[in-house]
Amino acid sequence: MYEQGVIRPPSEASSLLVRVTRNCPWNQCVFCPAYKGTKFSKRSVDEIKGDIDSMAKEYGGYAFVESAFLQDADSLLLPTPDLLEILKYLKQKFPGVKRITSYARARTLKRKSVEELKELREAGLTRIHVGMESGSAAVLKMIKKGITPDDIIGGGTRVMEAGISLSEYIMPGIGGRSFSEEHAIETARVLNIVQPDFIRVRTFAMHPASPMQKKVEEGIFVPMTDDEIVAEIRLLVSLLEEMRSYFSCGDFSLNLLMQVDGYLNEKKGAMLTELDKFLSLTKRQKQAYSLLRRASFIAYPIDIVYDQKVMDQVMQEIEKLENSGEDGFNKYIRLLMSYQLPQPQTENWT
């Protein structure tokens, strides 16, 4: 009756999903499995209106439909007049909708004028989700992101000036051990300029079929441990200004310390304290916490490692993993993390 794409942000779990484009126009990021093996296409306004009509018949009478998300990976590639027509029609068919959001690439946003973005805001577009991943030019090039730090800044500042809520997604660990410090420093620099409403943390996990795996085998990319990634996040947070951005680890289970969460101008000190609390643990305590978190979806408090009964049980498993082969423990942790990734529609990654 109507089309829907394969992914949406966690914060849009209860949103009406309106497919505006199919798949991703870039689709070359070496870490992302979501759209591999698919082709990008724009849907016509008439097609989209037809879907909205079908949704209105199915959901129109329900008061709970208060938000909508425009799919797929870069809906703002559509001409602004088309987007305005879609937004107005959606609001007409679902008058109870209070929030309409979308993914967009930084380079696409950079090509939109502030005036165009303001028109979209006035028509009902309230939030844009952007995967910046890193503020480092070297890291962006390595992962084939297809954008530069200037694109992120140009697109992000336009969105903020237009008064649309902006969520920037960052990816600790994506630079590997070699670029970790630069990744943290440059990401903080870019975020301090843009000052988005949300900074959403998405810890890197490697899909076994990802081209990143080949980089590991060739020694080009050295994956980071949970301990190293927490240290990277600590450096990043320490460099962020105490701005009115919400730094969010709590909406993504692959983030080890989901409790590191809050407005930077209110909670930065508390977040640094929590990060330091983990970093001050012994090696075995860090491994124990990592194994407990990665083996379940439970956001355990760090203090769980001081429970001797828990430690006695976990230590047996840690020793088995460490004796299973070279870097056995960390390899197992990475495997557990990969299970939580979306699966590509084909294994033919480019």
Q: CA-CA distance, 347 to 133, in Å (whole number)?
A: 23
pLDDT tens for each residue of 35-92: 888 999 999 999 999 999 999 999 876 667 899 999 999 999 999 999 999 999 999 9
Question: Model confidence at 343, in pLDDT bands (50, 70, 90)?
Answer: low
The confidence score (pLDDT) of residue 63 equals: 67
Beta bridge partners of 166: 128
Fold of 10-282: TIM Barrel (3.20.20)
Whether residue 126 is predicted with pLDDT greater than 70 in this model: the reply is yes
Beta bridge partners of 165: 127
Per DSSP, the residues of 52-118 read: HHHHHHHHTT-TT--EEEEESTTGGGS-HHHHHHHHHHHHHH-TT--EEEEE--HHHHHHS-HHHHH
| Percent of the chain residues past pLDDT 70, beyond the cut | 96
